[in-house]
A and B are shown apart, each in its own frame.
Chain A
Amino acid sequence: MYQNNQRGAALRYSNKMELLIIDNLRKGFKKHKVRAVDDVSFSVFKGEVLGLVGESGCGKSTLAKLVLRLLGADKGSIFYKGKDLFNISHNDMRKTRKDLQIIFQDPYASLDPRMKIGKVIEEVYDIYKNVSENNRKSKTIELLETVGLGETYLNRLPSELSGGERQRVGIARALATDPEFIICDEPVSSLDISVQAQILNLLIELQKRKNLTYLFISHDLGVIGSICDRVMVMQSGKLIESGSCENVFKNPQHQYTKTLLESALLR
């Protein structure tokens, strides 16, 4: 059974470019009797931008953490490039970690408060050895500049940045490994429209230039509509609707999707 799945996933990756395959994934938090991710299955194709929307607390971040193995699943499987992430050699997992990055929802919680911004980014090169000694500093400054920060930020601590600036450091850090697949968990929610536009346009440009793949979590339908090809809607741990953005926005099937669209347009 397991052999079949593994072989099937490898074929699905090589034939149909299903970069990430999620199969019947489940995660509950027993203490509070919630099933945060409830038998979820879907695929992400190489080079696509897949949106994930859903109300607060429906399980989006939990799903992201499961894919990155920051949390253990109760049931189900995850295949990345045809490899079973729950059953993978140490070496392969290392490679996968470099390829697969996340931009966290809460930048404050994900940055070490004692580590200077320059170090936050350079630490990544120490782990993945993807940048030569000579290029470290210039690459770091370049990354900071692409997110609208500059050299003056190198020696600052996270607490010495504004909220939106911290969020941008998280983005620069995710890009530092030259990843292939990025899970973006509300990556621009605390940024104003002009910075949002810069960052999203940067993400879109990178995606086109390097054929990157994104799973893009957001509650902002305007943002989802402007960057995603497909969108999935989640409610109480379950995927309740999915399709191309055009179809879902024009023709929502589920009541929750309709409410979401109505309240978005009301503003």
Chain B
Amino acid sequence: MLLHIKNLKINYKSDNRPVEVVRGIDLDIDKGECVGLIGESGCGKTTAGLGITKLIPERKGNISAGEILFEGRDVLKLTSEELRCIRGKKISYVFQEPFSSLNPVFTIYEQMRESLEEKDNPDSRIAEILKSVGLEKIIDRKNIYPHELSGGMQQRAMIGMAIAPRPNLLVLDEPTTALDVTVQRQILDLIMELKNKMSLAILFISHDLRIVFNIADKVAIMYAGKIIECGPKEKIVSSPAHPYTIGLIDSIPSLKHRKKLFNAIGGRAPLFSELPEGCKFYPRCRFRIDKCSEKEPELKDVSGGQASRCIRTISAELRSATPIKWNY
């Protein structure tokens, strides 16, 4: 096991009160495996990803419990010196907003060179990387700065910098949001190729089910700070067990619906300051029964590696007998 996370909890200090936004998650990633982490905006995906290398600034929050083993070493016990050797080298990140992590005063070329694992003869390696992320246009433009690139080009430059040091684990946080489908395809293909060629392990964070279903081997779905369903992709696609996952799948848009956008789940994710009792999905769940609001369900095995945090068994019959309240 390359990465093993057990019962990870992370707090933020918001208005000086601690708010727990990662409320105990377990996650395993093997060498050469791609795990997709999905969930609604604000549910804690980015925070969980940052937690892996203790990237939460101390004055903002802290990891309050849990265990993180990377290549067998306990990350939470490493010195800051040891952590620095892992971050950006063995574990590298593509952050959600590219502009926030590109340095505006250095050229793309300089930043690229900085992230290479071996410094001699950088030009040919940089050219190779730029080409693989579809930025061959800027290979000969060593004097180009981040603000001179479009949003999507910045995103690709970030991906290039993350793969440059040949990491073992790549954390991609919404890496293709600003890209049109043709470039998205190209980037996903590139990530797949790297995964296979370098047995790179990937944590792929996204809100877009379609993309995750395209690329991941295993999928974990997060809701209000916890994983509510996880398992092999094929299982989740063909027989989702948790009502929230079912809602996400039912919401995938298509060109067939004109002038409408569907939200098959309905309602909104709860704020962390106002989480309901019992099952956190209760207020929005179309399969809820009274018992659901008593206590928060445990993550229970369904079958063949798939697990779900729901007290009911949502069979295909029950699913088709319970109407969706289309909310648009």
Give the B-binding residues of A (Cβ under 8 A): 29, 31-32, 53-58, 60-61, 105-109, 148, 150, 152, 155-156, 159-160, 162-166, 168, 186, 189-198, 200-201, 204, 219-223, 225-227, 245-246, 249, 259-260, 263-265, 267
The answer to whether residues A195 and B40 also contact, given A32-B141, A56-B180, A226-B257 and a CB cut-off of 8 A, is: yes
Contacts of A109 in B (CB 8 A): 97, 99-100
Task: Judge if B1 is at the interface, Cβ distance under 8 Å.
Answer: no
Residues of B contacting A201 in the complex (Cβ-Cβ under 8 angstroms): 261, 263, 328
In the assembled complex, the Cα of A189 lies from the Cα of B211 at a distance in Å of 13
Extra 18 A-B pairs, beta carbons < 8 Å, given A106-B98, A152-B14, A192-B41? A31-B143, A57-B149, A60-B150, A106-B178, A152-B15, A162-B42, A191-B41, A192-B39, A192-B40, A197-B327, A221-B181, A226-B257, A226-B258, A226-B261, A227-B259, A260-B181, A263-B181, A267-B211
Q: Is the CB of A222 within 8 A of B253?
A: yes
B153: Cβ under 8 A from any A Cβ: yes
Q: Which residues of A contact B106 (CB under 8 A)?
A: none
| Cross-chain pairs A/B with CB under 8 angstroms, 21 sampled | A55-B182, A55-B183, A56-B151, A58-B150, A106-B99, A148-B268, A148-B269, A150-B271, A160-B12, A163-B41, A192-B39, A192-B40, A193-B263, A197-B251, A200-B261, A219-B178, A225-B255, A225-B258, A226-B259, A260-B180, A260-B182
A267 touches B210 (CB 8 A): yes
- Most chain B CB within a 10 A radius of its CB, from A156, A193, A204: A193
Q: Return the contact of A57 from the options B47, B152, B261 (Cβ within 8 A).
A: B152
User: Which of A29, A163, A194, A200 has the largest count of B CB atoms less than 10 A from its CB?
Assistant: A194
What is the CB-to-nearest-CB distance from B248 to chain A, in angstroms, rounded to a whole number? 7
CB atoms of A160 and B60 under 8 A apart: yes
B2 at the interface (CB under 8 A from A): no
Chain A minimum-CB-distance residue to B262:
A197
CA distance A128 to B254 in the complex (A): 40
| Complex Cα–Cα for A106 and B209 (A) | 22
How far is B317's CA from A200's CA once the two chains are assembled, in angstroms?
Answer: 32
Is A263 touching B207 in the complex (CB atoms < 8 A)? no
Of the candidates B174, B178, B182, B251, the one whose C-beta lies within 8 Å of that of A259 is B182
Q: How far is the CA of A15 from the CA of B99 in the complex (A)?
A: 43
Contacts of A186 in B (CB 8 A): 151, 177-178
Q: Tell whether, in the assembled complex, residue A264 and residue B181 are in contact, meaning their CB atoms are under 8 Å apart.
A: yes
Contact B259 A56 (CB under 8 A): no
CB-based closest 3 A-B pairs = A56-B152, A164-B41, A219-B180
Q: How far is the CA of A150 from the CA of B41 in the complex (A)?
A: 14
Chain B residues, CB < 8 A from A200: 261
Taking A56-B179, A259-B182 as contacts, is the C-beta distance between A32 and B100 under 8 angstroms? Answer: no
